[in-house]
A and B are shown apart, each in its own frame.
Chain A
Amino acid sequence: MGKQYETVIGLEVHVELATKTKIFCGCSTAFGGEPNTHTCPVCTGMPGALPMLNRQVLEYAAAVGLALNCRIPPLCKFDRKNYFYPDNPQNYQISQLYLPLCREGSIEIDTVQGKKTVRIHEIHMEEDAGKLIHETGVEQRDGQTQEDDIQEYSLVDYNRAGIPLIEIVTEPDMRSAEEVTAFLEKLRRIIQYLGASDCKLQEGSMRVDVNLSVREKGTEAYGTRTEMKNLNSFRAITRAIQGEQERQIHLLEEGKAVMQETRRWEDSKGESYGVRSKEDARDYRYFPDPDLMPVVVSRDWLEEIRSRQPELAEEKLERYRKEYQLPDYDIGILISSRHLATLFEETTALCGQPKKVSNWLMGDTLRLLNERGMEPEKLGISPEYLASLIRLVDEKIINNTVAKEVFQVMFDKGVDPKQYVEAMGLQTVSDEGILKQTLEKVIGANPKSVEDYRKGKEKAIGFLVGQTMKETGGKAEPGEVKRLLKELLDASV
Chain B
Amino acid sequence: MELLGWTAVELGARIKAGEIRVTEAAEAVLNRIEEKEALYHCYLTVDRERVMAQAEQLQGRLDKGELTGSLAGVPIAVKDNICTEGIRTTCGSRMLENFVPMYSAGAVSCLEKAGMLLIGKTNLDEFAMGSTTETSAYGVTRNPWDISRVPGGSSGGSAAAVAAQECFAALGSDTGGSVRQPASFCGVVGMKPTYGRVSRYGLVAYGSSLDQIGPITRDVTDCAALLETIAVHDSKDSTSVKREDGSFLSALKEGVEGIRIGIPGDYLAEGLDAEVKAAILKAAQVFKEQGAFLEEFDLGLTEYAIPAYYTIASAEASSNLERFDGIKYGYRTKEYKGLHQMYKKSRSEGFGTEVKQRIMLGSFVLSAGYYDAYYLKALKVKALIKKTFHQAFQKYDVILGPTAPSTAPLLGESLSNPMKMYLGDIYTVAANLAGLPAISLPCGLDTKGLPIGLQLTGDSFQEKKLLQTAYIYEKARGVFPLPKERK
Q: Does A52 contact B (CB under 8 A)?
A: yes
Q: Does B148 contact A (CB under 8 A)?
A: no
Q: For the complex, what is the distance from the CA of A48 to the CA of B96, rounded to whole Å?
A: 13
Chain B proximity mask over A66-109: 1 for CB below 8 Å, otherwise 0: 00000000000000101010100111100000000000000000
**Shortest distance in angstroms between A295's beta carbon and chain B's nearest beta carbon?**
10
Chain B proximity mask over A274-317: 1 for CB below 8 Å, otherwise 0: 00000000010111001111000000000000000000000000
Q: Does A204 contact B (CB under 8 A)?
A: no
Q: For the complex, what is the distance from the CA of A80 to the CA of B101, rounded to whole Å?
A: 24
User: Considering only CB atoms, which chain A residue lies closest to B127 in the complex?
Assistant: A47
- Tell me whether A290 and B366 are in contact (CB under 8 A): no
Q: Does B357 contact A (CB under 8 A)?
A: no
- Tell me whether B103 and A91 are in contact (CB under 8 A): no
**Shortest distance in angstroms between B99's beta carbon and chain A's nearest beta carbon?**
7
- Tell me whether B203 and A48 are in contact (CB under 8 A): yes
**Shortest distance in angstroms between B204's beta carbon and chain A's nearest beta carbon?**
4
**Shortest distance in angstroms between B370's beta carbon and chain A's nearest beta carbon?**
10
Which residues does chain A contribute within 8 Å of B130, judged by CB atoms? Answer: none
**Shortest distance in angstroms between A154's beta carbon and chain B's nearest beta carbon?**
8
Count A/B pairs, Cβ under 8 Å. 96
- Tell me whether B96 and A50 are in contact (CB under 8 A): no
- Tell me whether B327 and A46 are in contact (CB under 8 A): no
- List residues 35-52 of chain A with CB under 8 A from any CB of chain B: 41, 44-52
Which residues does chain B contribute within 8 Å of A92, judged by CB atoms? Answer: 319, 322
Query: Which of B42-50, B231-239, B245-253 touches A?
Result: B231-239
Chain B proximity mask over A354-392: 1 for CB below 8 Å, otherwise 0: 000000000000000000000000000000000000000
The residue that A80 contacts in the complex, of B83, B209, B319, B367, with Cβ under 8 A, is B319
Known contacts A45-B323, A285-B319: A89-B89 contact under CB 8 Å? no
Q: Does A156 contact B (CB under 8 A)?
A: yes
**Shortest distance in angstroms between A290's beta carbon and chain B's nearest beta carbon?**
4
- Tell me whether A46 and B101 are in contact (CB under 8 A): yes
Counting chain B residues whose Cβ lies within 8 A of the other chain, the interface size class is: 35 or more
Which residues does chain A contribute within 8 Å of B363, judged by CB atoms? Answer: 285
Most interface-central of B101, B102, B200, B327 (chain A CB within 10 A): B327
Which residues does chain B contribute within 8 Å of A50, judged by CB atoms? Answer: 200-201, 236-238
Which residues does chain A contribute within 8 Å of B200, judged by CB atoms? Answer: 48, 50
**Shortest distance in angstroms between A325's beta carbon and chain B's nearest beta carbon?**
53
Q: Does B64 contact A (CB under 8 A)?
A: no
Which residues does chain A contribute within 8 Å of B319, judged by CB atoms? Answer: 80, 82, 92, 285, 287
User: Considering only CB atoms, which chain B residue lies closest to A282 in the complex?
Assistant: B368
User: Considering only CB atoms, which chain B residue lies closest to A293 in the complex?
Assistant: B238
Known contacts A84-B343, A90-B323, A285-B366: A44-B328 contact under CB 8 Å? yes
- Tell me whether A41 and B323 are in contact (CB under 8 A): no
Which residues does chain B contribute within 8 Å of A292, judged by CB atoms? Answer: 238
Q: For the complex, what is the distance from the CA of A13 to the CA of B101, rounded to whole Å?
A: 38
**Shortest distance in angstroms between B375's beta carbon and chain A's nearest beta carbon?**
6
Q: Does B166 contact A (CB under 8 A)?
A: no
**Shortest distance in angstroms between B90's beta carbon and chain A's nearest beta carbon?**
10
- Tell me whether A47 and B322 are in contact (CB under 8 A): no
Which residues does chain B contribute within 8 Å of A283, judged by CB atoms? Answer: 367-368
User: From DSSP, what is the main secondary structure of chain B's interface residues?
Assistant: loop
Which residues does chain A contribute within 8 Å of B462, judged by CB atoms? Answer: none
- Tell me whether A48 and B316 are in contact (CB under 8 A): no
- Tell me whether A52 and B323 are in contact (CB under 8 A): no
**Shortest distance in angstroms between B86's beta carbon and chain A's nearest beta carbon?**
14
**Shortest distance in angstroms between A458's beta carbon and chain B's nearest beta carbon?**
81
Q: For the complex, what is the distance from the CA of A293 to the CA of B165, rounded to whole Å?
A: 40
Q: Does A421 contact B (CB under 8 A)?
A: no
**Shortest distance in angstroms between B239's beta carbon and chain A's nearest beta carbon?**
6
Chain A proximity mask over B350-370: 1 for CB below 8 Å, otherwise 0: 000000000000010011100
Which residues does chain B contribute within 8 Å of A86, judged by CB atoms? Answer: 325, 327, 339
- Tell me whether B315 and A287 are in contact (CB under 8 A): yes
Q: Does A236 contact B (CB under 8 A)?
A: no
- Tell me whether B208 and A290 are in contact (CB under 8 A): yes
Q: Does A182 contact B (CB under 8 A)?
A: no
Q: Does A403 contact B (CB under 8 A)?
A: no
Known contacts A53-B238, A285-B367: A291-B323 contact under CB 8 Å? no
Q: For the complex, what is the distance from the CA of A283 to the CA of B327, rounded to whole Å?
A: 22
User: Considering only CB atoms, which chain A residue lies closest to B327 in the complex?
Assistant: A86
**Shortest distance in angstroms between A333's beta carbon and chain B's nearest beta carbon?**
46
Q: Does B329 contact A (CB under 8 A)?
A: yes
- Tell me whether A47 and B89 are in contact (CB under 8 A): yes
The residue that B105 contacts in the complex, of A48, A80, A84, A287, with Cβ under 8 A, is A48
- Tell me whether B239 and A52 are in contact (CB under 8 A): no
- List residues 360-402 of chain B with CB under 8 A from any CB of chain A: 363, 366-368, 371, 375
Q: Does B62 contact A (CB under 8 A)?
A: no
User: Considering only CB atoms, which chain B residue lies closest to A84 in the complex?
Assistant: B343
Which residues does chain A contribute within 8 Å of B328, judged by CB atoms? Answer: 44-46, 89
- Tell me whether B238 and A291 are in contact (CB under 8 A): yes
Q: For the complex, what is the distance from the CA of A121 to the CA of B54, rounded to whole Å?
A: 58
- List residues 84-103 of chain B with CB under 8 A from any CB of chain A: 89, 91, 96, 99, 101-103
- Tell me whether A46 and B322 are in contact (CB under 8 A): no
Q: For the complex, what is the distance from the CA of A491 to the CA of B89, rounded to whole Å?
A: 103
**Shortest distance in angstroms between A276's beta carbon and chain B's nearest beta carbon?**
15
Please give me the 6 A-B residue pairs with the lowest Cβ-Cβ distance, nearest first: A91-B322, A290-B209, A290-B208, A285-B366, A48-B202, A47-B204
Chosen A-B contacts, 30 in total, with CB atoms closer than 8 Å, are: A41-B103, A44-B328, A46-B102, A46-B323, A47-B83, A47-B91, A47-B96, A47-B99, A48-B101, A48-B200, A48-B202, A48-B204, A48-B205, A52-B238, A53-B238, A82-B319, A86-B325, A86-B339, A90-B323, A91-B322, A91-B323, A92-B322, A156-B327, A283-B368, A287-B319, A287-B371, A287-B375, A290-B208, A290-B209, A293-B239
Chain A residues engaging chain B, CB cutoff 8 angstroms: 41, 44-53, 80, 82, 84, 86, 89-92, 156, 283, 285-287, 290-293
